[in-house]
A and B are shown apart, each in its own frame.
Chain A
């Protein structure tokens, strides 16, 4: 099936630092989604990207949909302790396959922010 490779697997940073994580796929995605999961909760959508090259911001978060449609990155600026959690990239693979319409998730990036 479709696979998303997300990196890094984990990050330990100081409060105030910027963070960058990315996601790559061997096949084309028409949508890239970035979710955050807090401990004991379900994932919550942070940013959705719908067009190749699109750059979208949500507060301190910025995400981009790669031109090749096979990658995306998420940046967090000036991190704060509440940014702690697991960040997942996800997307529904393109039409024509058995995975159409179903989200595929990356392995996740565990973010720890030291105050």
Chain B
């Protein structure tokens, strides 16, 4: 399976600022996804990052708050905009090679704290 790295691994940010998280995969993947995991909770899908087109967002998540880019098959970014303390969470990048029933693997996550 592919290996995913994320930068930064953690950050502490001020309210009202924005943070861009980078996700790099060591081989091409068909699909890339961004998840949020709040403390002690399960994973919630934010959006599917589509190469060369706008991301597909899940209910409750919007592009203005979480703009996503995916310029190629191995890289994506997620921006958390105009942050508030409620955005404090772990943000996870995920990738999948092949069809919907293939293994989906995850990056180590970015731990974000908003003051």
Do the beta carbons of B103 and A108 come within 8 Å of each other?
no
Size of A's binding interface in residues, CB under 8 A: 22
Within 8 A of A (CB), among B31-50: 31, 33, 41-43, 45, 48
Q: Beyond the given A42-B106, A101-B100, please list 17 additional residue pairs across the A-B interface where CB-CB is below 8 A.
A: A31-B101, A33-B103, A33-B104, A40-B111, A41-B109, A42-B4, A42-B109, A44-B106, A48-B103, A88-B42, A88-B43, A92-B101, A100-B100, A101-B99, A102-B33, A105-B42, A107-B42
Interface membership of A85, Cβ < 8 A:
no
Give the interface of B toward A (CB within 8 A). 1, 4, 31, 33, 41-43, 45, 48, 59, 92, 94, 99-101, 103-109, 111
Known: A102-B45, A108-B42. A45 touches B100 (CB 8 A): no
Question: Do most interface residues of chain A lie in helix, strand or loop, or is the interface mixed?
Answer: loop
A31 partner residues in chain B, CB cutoff 8 A? 101
A107 partner residues in chain B, CB cutoff 8 A? 41-42
Mask of A89-115 contacts with B, CB within 8 angstroms, 1/0: 000100000001111011110000000
B59 partner residues in chain A, CB cutoff 8 A? 1
Do the beta carbons of B106 and A43 come within 8 Å of each other?
yes
A-B CB contact pairs (8 Å), 22 listed = A33-B104, A41-B108, A42-B4, A42-B94, A42-B107, A43-B43, A43-B92, A44-B105, A45-B104, A45-B105, A48-B103, A88-B43, A92-B100, A92-B101, A100-B100, A101-B100, A102-B45, A103-B33, A103-B43, A105-B42, A107-B41, A107-B42
A91 to B53, CA, bound (A): 26
B4 to chain A, nearest CB (A): 7
Contact of A102 among B48, B92, B108 (CB under 8 A): B48
Do the beta carbons of A103 and B45 come within 8 Å of each other?
yes
